[in-house]
Structure 1
Amino acid sequence: MITQSSIQPALGSTPDSSVDGLPSNVATPPSACDLCERLLQLFNESSTIRCFDLGPLDSAILTDCPIHKRLLESYISRCIQNDPDPAHWVDDVTFTTQGNVVEVERSHMGRTFSWELLLAKKDADADHIGKGVILDPDWVNLDLIKQWKNQCLSFHGDKCDNPLRVWRTKPAWLVDVKQRCIVPGLKADSFVALSYRWGDAIGVSMNDESLVKLQEPNALDDPAFAAFMNPMVRHAIHLTSFLDEQYVWVDRLCIIHGHEDTAEQLSLMGSIYASATITIIAADGVAEDGISGLRDVPHSKPRDLKQTRVPFGNELILGRNTSQFSMDSGTPYYERGWTYQEHMLARRKILFNQKEVHWECQCSQFHEELLPDAVLDIYIEPRLQEIMAGFPILDSFGLIISHYNDRNLRYDEDALPGIRGLLAILSRSFTGGFLYGIPEMFFDRALGWEPSFGDTNLRRRVPSKRPKHEQLLSDSLPSWSWIGWQGIVEIGSEASETDHRQWGLEETIPITEWYTGNSADTPKASQRRIKSSWYENRELWKNPETALPAGWSRHTFDSEESMGSREQYLWPDGCNDYVYRHNGYSGSILRPGDTWYFPFPVAEINESTQPCMPEQTPYLFCKTRAVEVRAYRTSYGNMLSLHDGLGDQVGELHLHNEDHLQRFPTAEADRTGTLIKLISISLSYSHSKTRDKETGKWGKPHFRESHYRVLWVEWEGNVAYRLASGLVNETQWESLQPQEVDVVLG
C-alpha cells in the first residue's frame, strides 16, 4: 500500500528525463511534504479526503517541494496551450477526487482549465491502489475490446440491448467478413456498424454492376475492387472478425447509389446504427488513414501515443488525454454533421478517440488507460433516454439539435438528411413528427427559435450546384427553420417539468393557424394544416378535477420537501398546490427531480412503435398581423432595440448574425433608426423571479409578463423570408395598430 515513504525517491536517483519533457535534475528531499501525502490520498477511493485548495497557482509553484512542484509544472505547461499569459495564473488551484481519478482545476474569467490524473498501478504490488495503466505508445490492447464487449453482453441485459426502443432494422446489404463479400442484410441477426469520416477523397460509390460482382465469395480481395476497400473499411472488417462477429455495415459498400432502395436505406440510417450490436467509432483520421495502432494489421500504422507521465517520488502519476466529458469531442470527427446521429444512436460504442480506445454503452464507460475495476464518475448522454421514455421535453430536444447544427457538412442541403434518421426516432415521442426539424406539436413556439447566445453568428445555408440526381432529398433550406442556418440555436421551452432553480418559465398561446405546402402557390385546398397538439388540451391537463392520464400520480406541493421554499417557486398560469409524478420517468442527472406542473399523455414506446414523419414541404402559410417599428443596435451582441414612432421601446430582436447588425444604427448616431416589418407568430406568457444584487440569488417579487413572439421578415415577391426573431410587449403591440396580412414564408 502507499505510505508516506513510498513517495520518497531513492537518494541519488534521477527521474527519466524523457518523461513529460521536464528537467531531470531536481533535488529530492529526504521525505515527502504534507501536501504530497494529501494528494496521494485523493487517489484512494476509501479516503476521507475528497478535495483541497492549493491556493493561487503563481504562489503554489514557488514551493520548496520538488515532488509536487513537478506536477504543477506539468499542469502549467498544459494551461499554456490554452492561455499563455502568466498574469492569469493567480487563480486558486483545486484538487478534487472523482473515484480513482483526481482532477486539478482552476478557473479564470469564466474559463476552466482542468486536467484529470491517474495513479499508475504497480503490477508487483497486489494491494497498490493505483488504477492507471501505462500504455504501449504504438499498439492498442485489442484483448480489452473483446473483454468489454463480453462484459456488456453478459451482465447489462436489456439496458444496453435496445435503450432507445427502436424498431429492429436489418440493412439491405452487409459485408460478410467470413465469405469476404456483400450479402443481403436479412441473413444477419447481429451486425457491427462503422462510423467514420470520408475526408477530402470522396471515392467511388456502389452501383448495381458493382453489387452483382461483390456478392461473389472473396470478391473483396479482388484487386479490381480496391477502390472500395480503403484502409478504414479493411480495418473495420478486421475488427469485426476479431470481435467474433460475421457482418459489418459500412456505408461505402452497403448503400447502393441509384438503386431502388437507396432513399429508403438513407432514411433508415438512424435505426441501422441503433440496431447494430456494436458501432466502431473511428474518431481519429479519415478513410484513407484507417485505424492506427492495430498490431500486425496491414496499413495500420503505430498510433504514436503521447501519455503524460509525471514521477511523484516512487509513484508515477499519469495525465489523461481524455476526460469525463470528452468522449464526444476532441477530433474533427465530432465537427462533421453526418457522424452526429451515428454517434448519438449507437447503443454500444468502441471509440478510437485521441489515439486511445474506449468503450461506452448505456451502463458503463471503459478506457484503455484505466483498470477495468476503476471507480470514476461517468457521463452518459441522458436526453435521448428522457425523450424515448415518451416525454416530449422541448428543451432536451433543443440541446440535441444545437449540438448537431453547429457541425459542418460537405453540402449544405444535407442538413436535413444528415439528421433525418434521428428525427424519425424522436418523432415517436413528438406527436406529428418534425417539419424541417421543427416539432409540429410545439410548432407555435419552436418557430420562434433563435441563436443560442447574443453574439452567436448563424450562417445562411445555400444549396450546392451538384446535380439533382446526386442529392439525397430536396435541396430546400427554408429560412423559417433552423435547418436553413448553420450554428448553435435555442428552440425554446414550455413550462411542464418543475425546477425551482429556474429564474423564469414560459408558456405559448397560439394566435393563428399554420399550413404548409410544396410551393409558394400551393392552393388553400392542397395545403396541410399543422397541428400544434401540445396546446389543444393543456388547460384541461392543468385542471385537478380531470382524471389523471395513465402512469401519473398527484401530490400536494407541501409534501415535496426536496423542491425548496414555496416562496421561491414559480407556477404556470392555472397551476398551484399540486405537482405530479409519472412511473415511467426517473429523472435525469441534468434535472433536480422527476415532478411536473401538470400531467399529460405520455407515449408508450416499444420496438413496434413506428416513426411519424410528415412530407417535408418547405413553404408555410398563415393569416396573422404585422407592424412596422424602428430598430436600433444595442451594446450587447447581435441584439436590436425596437421602438414605436414616439421613440418608446416596445421590444427586442435577436438577429441571426453580425452582418445583419450592420444595417442598423445606434440610437445616438441616428434617432430615426431603421424601419423594419414584424409579423406575430404566437403569444408568450412568462413568469420570472427577481435577482438579488448582493447575493446573486433569484427570489421574490415574481413578475408575470405577456409578449408577442415576432419574426422580422423581408418580402421577395409574394414570399417572406425570416431574418430574426424577438418579442414585443403585448400592450405596446396593440398600440402599434397591427394590420392583418396573409403570409407565405419561404
Structure 2
Amino acid sequence: MGRFVCSAIRRLLTPSPPISESVPDVSPQESPDVSSRESLASTIDYGRLLRWIKTCDSRHTATCITIPAADRPHQIPEWVIDTQDACIVPGRTATRYVALSYRWADALSESERLMLRRSNLAEFQQPGFLSEGVASRLPQVIRDTIDLIKKLDERFLWIDRLCIIQGDEQTRFQAEQMDEVYSGAYFTVIAAASSGLYGQGHSRQASSDSRLPRHSPLEALAEYHYSRLLKSKWAERGWTFQEQILSKRSILFLDHEVFWDCQHALWDEYKLDPDLAGSPNSYVTPYNEMARRLQSNSWPDFSLYIELVCLYNSRQLTDPGDALSAFSGILNRLGRSYPGGFVSGMPRLFLDAALLWQPFSRPERRTQENGGITPIRHLPSWSWCGWRCVVDPWSLRSGLAYIDREDTLPTCGSASTWRTENLVHWSVLSKDMTKKQILPEPSLLETYKSLLQGEGTNLPDGWSRRRKWLRVFFNHKSDPDTRFQHPVPTVQTPTDVPNQETWPFLVGEITRAMLRVRSILRPKDAIHAEAAPKISVFKLRQFTEGPDDIDDICSVVCLQDHRCRWAGILRLMGDDEIHVGADIELIAISSGSVAVSDLESSYEERIEKDGFWTYRGGLTGIFFDRSPSRSGSLLPLVSLGNPLNGAKGNEIYQFYNVLWIERKDGVAYRKAAGRVPKTIWEANCSSPARVVLG
C-alpha cells in the first residue's frame, strides 16, 4: 500500500539526477528564440487544455470536481477577480473560480506593488479598474493568467495579492484558510516558468516519438515533468507547496511546456494524452497519492504527516516567520482526522514521537522579518517549524509503531522495532505564561496501546480485532484495508473549524541530568563511487542523496557521565559553541526501545561505532573525525558502552530520549536531541522538576 513515508520522500525529497542520467531525452525540441513572450503564448494549444478539463470533468467527477458552491459556503473566498468586468467581486457571486499558484518576486519593484488593501478596496470593486493603466502595475504572470482564463472560457479568478486584503488584521486568518481556497477551486493554474506564465527564450515544439524511451515512456515522461518542476524557482518557495497538494487538479506551466495533473491522471502535449486509444495514457504521481490521502483520511495518518513535513520544511519563505502559516492549509486538512489537532505544527496525539525530529542537514533558525504575519515566538525551538531544514524522516519512525508491520512498504526495509513511550504530562503556556492548557492526547495514545493485550478488552467504537495465524491486528471500519498494531484515537465528530494552535511554550515535570561531552565527531572527508551499469538509474532515485555540501552534514556528540561511563549520543544542530570536557544539561522527554538489529541503521550510533556513514545506496561515503580527545579532564571510559558493540541483533536496547537545552530567562531552548541508555540516565538524573520549553 502507498501509506508510508519512504517511497514518496525518496522520490520527491532527494535531488533528481541530471536528466541525461535518469531518463532518455524526452524534452521538447528547442530552437533559437524566435521573438517574444507573445510568440510563446501563441504556441499553446488552448483547445488541448480545454479538452483536459472537460475529460477530467466527465471521467473523474467523484474525486476531481468540487461540489457546488451552495453546498460548501466555508470554501468560498471573500473576493475573486471578475476577468470580464476587470474588478473584484464577492466570492459568493461566483459559481466557480480558478486559483493561481505563483512565486512572488523576491524584490518587488514599484510597478509590481499593486495589492488589495483596505484603503483601495472600493477602487478594486469598480468595473474596469484592473484594466488599462492599472494592469501595467501587475506582474506579467498575473496578466498572462487573466488572459488564459478568458481563453479557457472561465470568468472568475482567485489570486492572493488581489483577493486577500494585505496588511489587514484578517490577513493571517485568510492565509490560514488556503486549504479551502485551493481545494475549492475548479482547477489551479501553477506558474512555474522562469518568466510570466509561459517562460522565455525558445519556441515550443512537441517531441517526436523517436525520442521517447522504449522501456517505460509514460513513467519516464512523468518523471521528466516533475524533475523539471522540482528544479524550478516556484518549487523552492514555501507557500506553493500546499497550493499544489491541496489543489484537486492543476494546469502546470514551465518553460516551453505545459501539463495537466489531477487526482487520477497526468497528461501532457507529447504522449500522455487522454484521447490516445488502445494504450495506457495517464500516470499517477506521488503528489496525487498524497493529495488523495489528505482529502479522504478518516484516521490520524502519521506517515502522511511525516511525508508532508519533510517535503515542505526546507522551502524558502520571503518572511521566515510565515513558516506555519504557509503550512496551515495542510494542517487544517490533517486536523480533521487528528484528535486535538496541532500545536505549533506538532500533532498533539503523536507529540512524544514528533518531538524527536532531527535535521537531515544543518538547520537554520527561523527569525522574524518585517511584514510577516506570524510572531516569531510561535516558531518555538522544540518544533521543526522553528528551523529551516530538511527533516530526517527516519528520526520520526517510532511514531509509526501503531501500523501493522506487514503493511510496511518493502522500500522501508525490515519491520521497525523503534518504540517511544510517554513520560511527561505535557501542557502548553500562552505568550505571557498566564494561560495553561493540558495536552491529554499523548497519555490517551498510551491507553490505546494497552488494548493490544487481552482478547476480552472492549474496543472503542469503530474498531475490531482480527487474528491471522498467531498474530493479532486491528481494523477500523472506515478503512478496512489498513491493519493496525493497536487502535488509535479518531475524531468522532469531524469539524471544518481549523484545529491548530500556536502556543509558544511547552511545559512539564521533567527529569534532568548533567553529562559530559566525551567527543565530537565531525565529517572530514567524502568518497564517491559511480553507479554500476547494471543498477537502474530509476532505482538510484530511491536512495537518499545526502546533503550537497559535506559542511552541511550534522556532527555527532558522544557523552559520558562523571563515572566515565558511556552515556549516549546527540546529533548536533549546527556549529554550537561546545568543546570536549564540557558539562551540558539534558532533559528526558520520553522513553524508548529498539532491537539492536534496527539500531545498526541509526545515524548516530553507527557513526560513533564506525566513524563512517553512507548515502546513495553506498555510493557516497562520509568519514568522521574520531581522533582521540586531547582534553586532560577526561579519563578512559570504564566500558565501551555503545549498544552496537558486542550485542546480539535480537537484544532490546532501552533508553531515554533527551534534549540538550540552554536556559535563558527561565526558559529552556532546544540545542540538540539524542539518546541516553536507561541505566545511565536513571543513575544520574534528578527528581522531576518543572521545565518550560520555548
Whether 2:691 is the aligned partner of 1:735: answer no
Where 1:555 maps in the other structure, the secondary structure is strand
Q: Determine the C-alpha separation between the residues in 2 that align with 1:260 and 1:715.
A: 34
Please give the per-residue CA displacement for 1:577-632, whole angstroms capped at 9, x wherever unaligned: 21223453376xxxxxx3221233444687x6433123x22122222111111122
Please give the per-residue CA displacement for 1:527-586, whole angstroms capped at 9, x wherever unaligned: 11123345242234323323444444433232xxxxxxxxxxxxxxxxx72122345337
Please state how far the C-alpha of 1:303 moved relative to its aligned partner: 4.8
User: For residues 692 and 276 of structure 1, do their structure 2 counterparts lie closer, same or farther at Cα, with a shift above 3 Å needed?
Assistant: closer
2:198 alignment partner, one of 292, 296, 316: 292
1:237 alignment partner, one of 146, 160, 163: 146
2:352 alignment partner, one of 417, 441, 444: 444
Contact 1:138 1:304 survives alignment (8 Å): no
Counterpart of 1:145, as a letter, is L
Question: Corresponding residue for 1:627?
Answer: 513
Question: Corresponding residue for 1:417?
Answer: 325
Contact 1:711 1:724 survives alignment (8 Å): yes
2:249 alignment partner, one of 340, 348, 356: 348
Q: Determine the C-alpha separation between the residues in 2 that align with 1:451 and 1:261.
A: 33
Unaligned runs of 5+ in 2: 1-15, 29-38, 407-412, 524-553, 602-616, 618-647
User: For residues 119 and 643 of structure 1, do their structure 2 counterparts lie closer, same or farther at Cα, with a shift above 3 Å needed?
Assistant: closer
1:408 alignment partner, one of 297, 303, 316: 316
2:270 alignment partner, one of 356, 369, 375: 369
Whether 2:259 is the aligned partner of 1:358: answer yes
Worse-superposed segment, 402-411 or 616-625: 616-625
User: For residues 312 and 144 of structure 1, do their structure 2 counterparts lie closer, same or farther at Cα, with a shift above 3 Å needed?
Assistant: closer
Question: Corresponding residue for 2:472?
Answer: 578
Q: Determine the C-alpha separation between the residues in 1 that align with 2:41 and 2:148.
A: 20
1:270 alignment partner, one of 179, 198, 203: 179
Worse-superposed segment, 260-269 or 327-336: 260-269
Where 2:405 maps in the other structure, the secondary structure is coil
1:281 alignment partner, one of 169, 180, 190: 190
Q: Determine the C-alpha separation between the residues in 1 that align with 2:318 and 2:293.
A: 31
Whether 2:159 is the aligned partner of 1:250: answer yes
Contact 1:192 1:280 survives alignment (8 Å): yes
Please give the per-residue CA displacement for 1:307-347, whole angstroms capped at 9, x wherever unaligned: 7769689x9x9995952753751201111111111111111
Where 1:326 maps in the other structure, the secondary structure is helix
Contact 1:515 1:621 survives alignment (8 Å): yes
Counterpart of 1:618, as a letter, is P
Contact 1:540 1:546 survives alignment (8 Å): no
Question: Corresponding residue for 1:198?
Answer: 104
Counterpart of 1:517, as a letter, is L
2:499 alignment partner, one of 608, 612, 622: 612
1:653 alignment partner, one of 560, 570, 583: 570
Please state how far the C-alpha of 1:644 moved relative to its aligned partner: 1.3
2:488 alignment partner, one of 600, 611, 619: 600
Please give the per-residue CA displacement for 1:30-89, whole angstroms capped at 9, x wherever unaligned: xxxxxxxxxxxxxxxxxxxxxxxxxxxxxxxxxxxxxxxxxxxxxxxxxxx978xxxxxx
Please state how far the C-alpha of 1:497 moved relative to its aligned partner: 1.0
Contact 1:412 1:462 survives alignment (8 Å): yes
Please state how far the C-alpha of 1:719 moved relative to its aligned partner: 1.5
Question: Corresponding residue for 1:463?
Answer: 368
Question: Corresponding residue for 1:557?
Answer: 468
User: For residues 403 and 167 of structure 1, do their structure 2 counterparts lie closer, same or farther at Cα, with a shift above 3 Å needed?
Assistant: farther
Please give the per-residue CA displacement for 1:10-49, whole angstroms capped at 9, x wherever unaligned: xxxxxxxxxxxxxxxxxxxxxxxxxxxxxxxxxxxxxxxx
Question: Corresponding residue for 1:713?
Answer: 661
User: For residues 510 and 329 of structure 1, do their structure 2 counterparts lie closer, same or farther at Cα, with a shift above 3 Å needed?
Assistant: same
User: For residues 153 and 302 of structure 1, do their structure 2 counterparts lie closer, same or farther at Cα, with a shift above 3 Å needed?
Assistant: farther
User: For residues 609 and 702 of structure 1, do their structure 2 counterparts lie closer, same or farther at Cα, with a shift above 3 Å needed?
Assistant: farther
Report 1:456-535 matches (<5 A): 456-464=361-369, 466=370, 470-476=371-377, 477-490=379-392, 492=396, 493-500=399-406, 501-519=413-431, 522-523=433-434, 526-533=435-442, 534-535=444-445
Contact 2:187 2:247 survives alignment (8 Å): yes
Q: Determine the C-alpha separation between the residues in 2 that align with 1:180 and 1:312.
A: 44
Please state how far the C-alpha of 1:739 moved relative to its aligned partner: 4.3
Question: Corresponding residue for 1:394?
Answer: 302
Question: Corresponding residue for 1:143?
Answer: 47
Please give the per-residue CA displacement for 1:234-274, whole angstroms capped at 9, x wherever unaligned: 22112222222221101121011244643332221222111
Counterpart of 2:561, as a letter, is D
How many equivalent residue pairs?
562
Contact 2:83 2:155 survives alignment (8 Å): yes
Q: Determine the C-alpha separation between the residues in 1 that align with 2:64 and 2:653.
A: 45
Q: Determine the C-alpha separation between the residues in 2 that align with 1:284 and 1:225.
A: 21
Q: Taking structure 2 as the reference length, what is the TM-score of the superposition?
A: 0.74
Q: Determine the C-alpha separation between the residues in 2 that align with 1:292 and 1:617.
A: 43
Question: Corresponding residue for 2:539?
Answer: none
Please state how far the C-alpha of 1:367 moved relative to its aligned partner: 1.3
Contact 1:156 1:363 survives alignment (8 Å): yes
Counterpart of 2:419, as a letter, is E
Please give the per-residue CA displacement for 1:137-193, whole angstroms capped at 9, x wherever unaligned: 972222211111101111111222359x99851111000112221101111231100
Q: Determine the C-alpha separation between the residues in 1 that align with 2:51 and 2:590.
A: 55
Q: Determine the C-alpha separation between the residues in 2 that align with 1:279 and 1:605.
A: 30
Where 2:417 maps in the other structure, the secondary structure is strand
Q: Determine the C-alpha separation between the residues in 1 that align with 2:599 and 2:508.
A: 39
Contact 1:541 1:600 survives alignment (8 Å): no
Please state how far the C-alpha of 1:461 moved relative to its aligned partner: 1.3
Q: Determine the C-alpha separation between the residues in 1 that align with 2:466 and 2:460.
A: 15
Worse-superposed segment, 730-739 or 544-553: 544-553
CA RMSD of aligned residues (A): 3.4
Q: Determine the C-alpha separation between the residues in 1 that align with 2:446 and 2:249.
A: 39
Where 2:230 maps in the other structure, the secondary structure is coil
Question: Corresponding residue for 2:673?
Answer: 725
Structure possessing the higher relative contact order (Cα contacts under 8 Å, 6 or more residues apart): 2
Report 1:216-227 matches (<5 A): 216-224=126-134, 226-227=136-137
User: For residues 263 and 320 of structure 1, do their structure 2 counterparts lie closer, same or farther at Cα, with a shift above 3 Å needed?
Assistant: closer
Please give the per-residue CA displacement for 1:649-708, whole angstroms capped at 9, x wherever unaligned: 121111112x13x6334xxxxxxx322110111111334547999xx9xxx952323211
Whether 2:241 is the aligned partner of 1:331: answer no
Whether 2:456 is the aligned partner of 1:545: answer yes
Contact 2:352 2:590 survives alignment (8 Å): yes
Contact 2:346 2:354 survives alignment (8 Å): yes
User: For residues 184 and 292 of structure 1, do their structure 2 counterparts lie closer, same or farther at Cα, with a shift above 3 Å needed?
Assistant: same
Question: Corresponding residue for 1:296?
Answer: none
Where 1:281 maps in the other structure, the secondary structure is strand
Please state how far the C-alpha of 1:230 moved relative to its aligned partner: 2.3
Contact 1:550 1:601 survives alignment (8 Å): no
User: For residues 347 and 82 of structure 1, do their structure 2 counterparts lie closer, same or farther at Cα, with a shift above 3 Å needed?
Assistant: closer
Counterpart of 2:569, as a letter, is E
Please give the per-residue CA displacement for 1:93-137, whole angstroms capped at 9, x wherever unaligned: xxxxxxxxxxx99xxxxxxx31146699xxxxxxxxxxxxxx999
Please state how far the C-alpha of 1:507 moved relative to its aligned partner: 2.8
Whether 2:289 is the aligned partner of 1:385: answer no
Contact 2:237 2:315 survives alignment (8 Å): yes
Please state how far the C-alpha of 1:386 moved relative to its aligned partner: 3.4
Where 1:628 maps in the other structure, the secondary structure is strand
Q: Determine the C-alpha separation between the residues in 2 that align with 1:153 and 1:333.
A: 27
